[in-house]
Structure 1
Amino acid sequence: MNSLIQNTQVTKTRKLVYTALLIALAFIGAQIKILGSIALDALPAFFAALLLGPVAGAAVGAIGHLLTAMTSGFPMSIPIHLVVMCTMAFICWLYGYLNNRINLIVNSTIAIILNGVGATYLSVLIMQLLGMIPTVKEFFFMLVGPLLLASTVNVLAAAVLYSLLKKRI
């Protein structure tokens, strides 16, 4: 019984250490900007979702986006970036939840579309509702390309790394 308790503690500690390491890597990715606050901070979050589960993925995703927004000077305003942070947390959570429930390629495709297109549309729609932009269409089409590119790079790199490392970790 005592060894079971110790093993559980080791597992919790290891998961916490991996999560902290992936948050640190998200900060590094936050410095690799594609456009404004669009960066490679999500790769560690998607990897965390696959390796450590949905909650760890959501935490790394939320913190990673917040770090990117902070180092970019919150270009779309703090409220919009808080919405994006929550959206990112949900998408990473879903990615981790669907892991081992559906094919990794299908799961990755869903994550890319939700993160690159869905989150973009939601953010732009909220910006219009708050009076920050006149119409959704122009701003959406300006952002969707770079966000879709970043999303594809982040998700596919995380999926490849997970496929290569899952049996070694």
Structure 2
Amino acid sequence: MKLRLLTLAAMFAALSAIGAFVKIPVGIGSAALDTVPALVSAAFLPPAYAGAASLIGHLSSSLYAGFPFGPLHIIIAAEMFLILFVYTRLHQARRYVLKWVFFIFANSVLATLPFYWIISPAFFASALPGITIATILNAGIAMTVSPVIVRVMERVKTHA
């Protein structure tokens, strides 16, 4: 069972790394679709594994972009881990609407909030709209794709 979880987590982390190459220009810099696979992974993985997939996805996206915020990406990766951890717990508790509301609010507002003090209030104000748009886009794609992937995985499980 543990090997299956590690394999799935590695697969979703790899898909997150691939999603890092799909860039969306939003205000300051760009956002990527690295979070979509991590959001989908909540249906298959425990919270810590889904969080790890998200953490790896963010770090690979940052690496591809050249780490524009330097060591601050460690903070962002930790935030992503925590957000996906809670998101997955909400999914497992069958709080389907709340998990999306939480993800969009936490990934856009709460994750950006520390940079109000770390960088500047102006940075926070200019980054928030773009990050919110990217978050909604990631959530929308994951919301659309997740039910299909879950159904396919159920079929594979019954035929295997």
Say whether the fold is shared (TM-score over 0.5): yes
- Contact 1:104–1:159 (Cα < 8 Å) also in 2: no
Q: What's the counterpart of residue 156 of structure 2?
A: none
What TM-score results when the alignment is normalised by the length of structure 1? Answer: 0.80
Q: 1:156 aligned to 2:149?
A: no
1:62 aligns with 2:62: no
Q: Which runs of 5+ in 2 are unaligned?
A: 154-160
Aligned counterpart in structure 2 of residue 23 of structure 1, from 13, 33, 49: 13
> Aligned pair count?
150
Q: What residue number does 1:125 align with?
A: 117
Letter paired with 1:92: L
1:90 aligned partner, one-letter code: L
TM-score normalised by structure 2 residue count: 0.85
2:32–2:134 Cα contact (<8 Å) kept:
yes
Q: Which residue of 1 aligns with 2:39?
A: 46
Task: List aligned pairs for 1:3-152, cutoff 5 A.
Answer: 11-35=1-25, 36=29, 38-78=31-71, 80-127=72-119, 135-136=120-121, 138-152=122-136
Structure 1 gaps of 5+ residues are: 1-10, 128-134
Percent of aligned positions that are identical: 30
Q: Which residue of 2 aligns with 1:4?
A: none
Q: How far is 1:126 from its partner?
A: 2.3
Higher alpha-carbon deviation: 138-147 or 33-42: 33-42
Change in Cα spacing, 1:32 to 1:95, as seen in structure 2 (3 Å) is same
Q: Give me the whole-angstrom Cα distance separating, in 2, the residues matched to 1:163 and 1:30.
A: 22
- Aligned partners of 2:13 and 2:41: how far apart in 1? 9
